[in-house]
Amino acid sequence: MYRFPTILLSRHRLYSTTSQPLELPLSHPIYTIWGSNTGVGKTLVSAGIAASSLLSPPSSVKFHYVKPLQTGFPSDSDSRFVFNKLLQLRNRNNNNARISLSASNRVLNFSPATTARENEIQHLVGEEGFISSELICKTLYAWEEAVSPHLAAEREGFVVKDSALLETLQKCFSEVSESGVDKVRSEVFCVVETAGGVASPGPSGSLQCDLYRPFRIPAILVGDGRLGGISGTISAYESLTLRGYDVVAIIFEDHGLLNEGPLFSYVRNKVPVLVLPPVPKDPSNDLMEWFEGSHYVFNNLKEIMLSAYFERIKKLHEMPSKARDIIWWPFTQHKLVPDGGVMVIDSRCGENFAVFKKTEVITPLFDACASWWTQGPDAKMQAELARDMGYTAARFGHVMFPENIHEPALNCAELLLQGVGKGWGSRVFFSDNGSTAIEIALKMAFRKFSVDHGLILDCHEDATNERSAELMVLALHRSYHGDTLGAMEAQAPSSYTGFLQQPWYTGRGLFLSPPSVSMYNNKWSISIPEEFQWENKELENITFASRAEIFHRCRDNSELAPVYSSYISKVLSGFRGSSKIAALIMEPVIQGSGGMHMVDPLFQRILVNECRNRKIPVIFDEVFTGFWRLGVETAVDLIHCEPDIACYGKLMTGGMIPLAATIATDAVFDSFIGDSKLKALLHGHSYSAHAMGCMAAVKSIQWFKDPFSNPNITSEGRLLRELWDDKMVHKISSHSAVERVVVLGTLFALELKAEGDNAGYASLYARPLLQKLREDGVYMRPLGNVIYLLCGPCTSPEICNQLLVKLYERLEEFDGCSN
């Protein structure tokens, strides 16, 4: 068998934290010039655009040319080429007499191996005349050897980290923006010319198309007019779009092969394709005539770039009001959305949104609500998932599932049973979201219960069986299992269930108030509801030395255990009559939507055991808790007891697309086996086990648990390392504005002290605090007066700490104004 050279498999992390957010100003057009191969004329195109901008009266233009990576320096220097050509062109044509051009060329960072140290040259041609334009050429990093930057960097001992490169580029953009303060949009222009082809490595080894991705700068692709160039151009275009770039135009040099035909037809009405005249091959040719002959093409290109830029700006400005007019947002009182409160998300890169600000900048915001708890990928994982999505859509789209099998579905089911379902689960039923997964789980549990308890004596094909009993669930107060009616019926009455919201809701359950655990003032302690009717007053102030202690199995022998079990027994035996408790359903450990409450795991374990003793099927709702959300792949590992049925969704696909799964034991499955189709589980959604969802799940499940791809996985592979800094957690838990803290796995939650209308789901109390945090680059959403930070399983503790620091600082202010 072929073996992979392990030496080359370095754990590589894209975009480790930069000291400031990577912002792209939109005040003026900024473009990247990509090549479909090396040597296709990117620099000629850059110079052509510069000429078209600078030498077209009557505008007075500042043109920024940026070459981030230059190898073969100083004999090669693309920025010097652009500089020289523009000066030559300025002097050549009489029409340019009215233009004075000041031009500069700088190199910001040299490899120590380079001999040259000419770090700045400047020129002014023409008199200070009517139109005074400026060309600013910059090379950010230069190496001597004429090889790929990653090789040159290694050989010359001058490796540049991705984050450093991005920060340098960011500074250039700020300068672009500043240089245009008093100028109209089109009078400042910036092009960034990449090195080699679109997927050529940068100095750290990251492919450039990945490296520059956080800015997502609109792209001009210089295609290849040679034999084979159609293919190379299309593939390069696909590599760019497969990373979420918008390609605004394709331009290439004519080699007489009519490559434009197939290219036109490929990009159809999406991207214009322009053809440049053949470039003279004689090295002594100064190209002046060629540039003049190409002038109309470059003018055309410049117009396309400008018009795409203006269109983008226009769209970004219009989107909020358009959205307000036609979108109906979930869980949103439209009347309460403040003016200017609609946020345009231009893209996402790993854990960050890229958001359009009215100050005309695209800026990152850490997605600390994990987009309703779905998100997990870092930038690298998102890029890989995107490629898998393209592949799976092309290979499968969606295909019919019942009685069929396809690779992604089978692989996904296997991984689920080897992972979250390990030790108990035998069957996987796919659906679309957590809510449907719960409805399916309830149907499964009720059948199992009915079979076990003789409620279905006669399994004939009678579809309209009499209702032999009223089946109820046993569930916990503050639990939430989804928005569809069946899922809602399994939750206690709440803001979501009133007549106003769902006139059909009746609440078919017995709802218990569970004891909960939280940290306050640096101490974990239990809060036990009154219903438990204390005989022993000492139980009231139980605290824990560490969080680990809370989850320890030895608590089975603690004095609380008999208190819990006798309470549960009493409740269950007190429940009589025609109704029957036919299922236990609960979110293990953390109740999410109910306000990020940590239920005492001991209580949940005893509850499960009591139900099992009574042959009541147990459902775990792991839609929120599954897949490392709580620091372990499944909360089963925290509460040390297993369900008969469990539901998964959200993070299962790494936050890409909707997919849910209900896992069950064979015993549950068997209660649906019979001779008639009517005994089968007659439930299924159109996109059951859709290939893309399954593929995303396969990739995510593997990615999160592989120490190679997820640096947070500890060596044993069963735990995430601690992501939240202990000191900061303690500090926040001791803050005067804070009622309680819950911290576990990827979750850090806190409840703000609040009273009256300020408390509860509809409270707007936390809003000003979160508004401030958005200014700090952190996007949170409140659950009333409970707020939380949710990172991904791969997020670095360094980033988590930054979040905590920002939160603490704003808490300080918040505390100030609320007192």
Q: Considering Cα of 655, then 353, then 786, then 522, what sign does the dihedral take?
A: positive
In the complex with a copy of itself, the residue whose CB is nearer, 531 or 706, is: 706
In the complex with a copy of itself, the residue whose CB is nearer, 580 or 806, is: 580
Judging by DSSP bridges, how do beta strands 590-591 and 597-599 pair with one another?
antiparallel
Closest C-alpha to 210, from 346, 382, 466: 382
In the complex with a copy of itself, the residue whose CB is nearer, 179 or 491, is: 491
209 alpha carbon, distance to own chain's centre: 18
Distance in Å, CB of 175 to a copy of itself, minimum: 27
In the complex with a copy of itself, the residue whose CB is nearer, 48 or 180, is: 48
Q: Prior bond to 74 cis, omega within 30?
A: yes
SS (H, E, C) 11-73: CCCCCCCCCCCCCEECCCCEEEEEECCCCCCHHHHHHHHHHHHHCCCCCCCEEEEEEEEECCC
Closest C-alpha to 152, from 115, 77, 202, 207: 202
Rounded to whole angstroms, the Cα distance separating 238 from 225 reads: 17
In the complex with a copy of itself, the residue whose CB is nearer, 315 or 718, is: 315
Backbone conformation region of residue 589, classed left if phi is above 0, alpha if psi is from -120 to 50, else beta = left
Distance in Å, CB of 536 to a copy of itself, minimum: 34
Start-to-end CA span in the chain (Å):
70
In the complex with a copy of itself, the residue whose CB is nearer, 171 or 322, is: 322
In the complex with a copy of itself, the residue whose CB is nearer, 261 or 717, is: 261
Closest C-alpha to 221, from 45, 29, 28, 71: 45
Distance in Å, CB of 222 to a copy of itself, minimum: 12
In the complex with a copy of itself, the residue whose CB is nearer, 35 or 745, is: 35
Residue pair 364/22 in contact by the 8 Å Cβ criterion = yes
In the complex with a copy of itself, the residue whose CB is nearer, 84 or 653, is: 653
Distance in Å, CB of 629 to a copy of itself, minimum: 13
Distance in Å, CB of 284 to a copy of itself, minimum: 24
What's the CA dihedral at 20, 22, 25, 26 to 10 degrees? -150
Distance in Å, CB of 113 to a copy of itself, minimum: 18
Distance in Å, CB of 422 to a copy of itself, minimum: 13
Q: For residue 299, how many other CB atoms are within 10 A of its CB?
A: 16
CB-based burial, 186-197: b 16+ in 10 Å, e otherwise:
bbbbbbbbbbbb
Distance in Å, CB of 529 to a copy of itself, minimum: 20
Rounded to whole angstroms, the Cα distance separating 107 from 119 reads: 5
In the complex with a copy of itself, the residue whose CB is nearer, 376 or 514, is: 376
- The DSSP secondary-structure symbol of 712 reads T
Closest C-alpha to 496, from 512, 479, 473, 516: 479
Distance in Å, CB of 647 to a copy of itself, minimum: 12
Distance in Å, CB of 417 to a copy of itself, minimum: 6
Distance in Å, CB of 602 to a copy of itself, minimum: 30
In the complex with a copy of itself, the residue whose CB is nearer, 100 or 382, is: 382
Distance in Å, CB of 555 to a copy of itself, minimum: 33
Rounded to whole angstroms, the Cα distance separating 428 from 438 reads: 13
Judging by DSSP bridges, how do beta strands 778-779 and 361-367 pair with one another?
parallel
Q: 659 is written with which tokens? A: 């997919």
In the complex with a copy of itself, the residue whose CB is nearer, 444 or 526, is: 444
